[in-house]
């Protein structure tokens, strides 16, 4: 077995498990994206953080020594090649656009942007990055979807459809790349306390109450808890885990 594929295969993420690896994090300016940058940086990876130009990227550079901020628009056709220049071993695809609206009232003009960012962009990045990972005999592709992609959610029909596409995509790519030491998995957050979710829930207090009642854990998740799952799937310890969907949801959906 190529030692590059599963070096340190028994170690969990952390303690330098990703030392010498480059991790690309998209959507790095979001609450979950920042937590993922911290998680992978703590595991020893050289982190490349990308998002639209936002102050959060500059803050990450100041906070995490060695982190490289490379702001770009993932909808730009040149973005995958530009980001591939960093030669990532890990792709943590966190970027996503959530929209809450009843399907009957959802403007069709928004559908294209949701599909472009939530599904097409991760697909384009994967196609650009995977070949080099295969040549090196080691790679981790981790996509952030949503529990609404698995179980559905009122007001998220279009968003859920685009995120559900990641599940089928990751499972298919996992089959194609497994023999080359490259894994592909999906993390599905449930209700997580983020700036975006707070804006939605603050405007809909009944929705917040309903979520808390429906969640066995009785609380919203934390971005760090989602990041920990991504950190595991990005680690050498997860070398035999591929094509899987891991929900981080406090038990709100268990199927």
SS3 230: helix
φ, ψ of residue 94 to 5 degrees: the values are -100, -25
Structure token digits, residue 43: 């595991």
Catalytic residue among 138, 159, 169, 232: 159
Tokens linked to 184: 């592909």
CB-based contact 145:190 (threshold 8 Å): no
Q: Are 140 and 91 spatial neighbours (Cβ–Cβ below 8 Å)?
A: yes
Secondary structure class of 119 (helix, strand, coil): helix
Residue 245 phi/psi, 5° resolution? -120, 120
159 is a catalytic site residue: yes
Q: Pairing between strand 245-248 and 182-189? A: parallel
Asked if residues 144 and 118 have their Cβ atoms less than 8 Å apart, the reply is: no
Alpha carbon 90 to its chain centroid, in Å, reads 11
Please, which contacts does 165-170 make with residues 24 or more away whose CB atoms are closer than 8 Å? Answer: 165/115, 165/118, 165/119, 166/93, 166/118, 166/119, 166/122, 167/245, 169/119, 169/122, 169/123, 169/126, 169/143, 170/141, 170/143, 170/243, 170/245
Catalytic residue annotation: 159
């Amino acid at each position: 077995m190529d030692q590059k594929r599963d070096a340190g295969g028994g170690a969990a993420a952390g303690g330098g498990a990703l030392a010498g690896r480059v991790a690309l994090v998209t959507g790095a300016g979001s609450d979950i994206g920042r937590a993922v940058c911290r998680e992978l940086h703590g595991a020893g990876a050289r982190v490349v953080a990308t998002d639209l130009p936002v102050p959060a990227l500059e803050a990450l550079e100041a906070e995490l020594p060695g982190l490289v901020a490379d702001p770009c628009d993932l909808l730009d056709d040149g973005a995958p090649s530009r980001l591939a220049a960093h030669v990532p071993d890990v792709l943590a695809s966190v970027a996503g656009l959530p929209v809450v609206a009843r399907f009957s009232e959802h403007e069709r003009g928004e559908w294209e942007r949701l599909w472009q960012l939530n599904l097409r962009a991760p697909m384009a990045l994967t196609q650009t990055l995977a070949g080099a990972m295969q040549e090196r005999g080691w790679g981790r592709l981790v996509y952030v979807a949503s529990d609404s992609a698995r179980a559905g959610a009122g007001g998220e029909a279009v968003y859920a459809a685009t995120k559900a596409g990641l599940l089928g995509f990751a499972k298919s790519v996992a089959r194609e790349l497994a023999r080359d030491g490259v894994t592909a998995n999906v993390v599905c957050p449930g209700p997580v306390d983020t700036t975006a979710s707070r804006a939605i829930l603050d405007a809909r207090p009944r929705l917040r109450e309903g979520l808390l009642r429906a969640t066995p854990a009785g609380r919203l998740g934390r971005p760090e808890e989602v990041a920990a799952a991504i950190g595991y799937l990005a680690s050498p310890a997860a070398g035999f885990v591929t094509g899987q969907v891991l929900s981080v949801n406090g038990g709100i959906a268990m199927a």
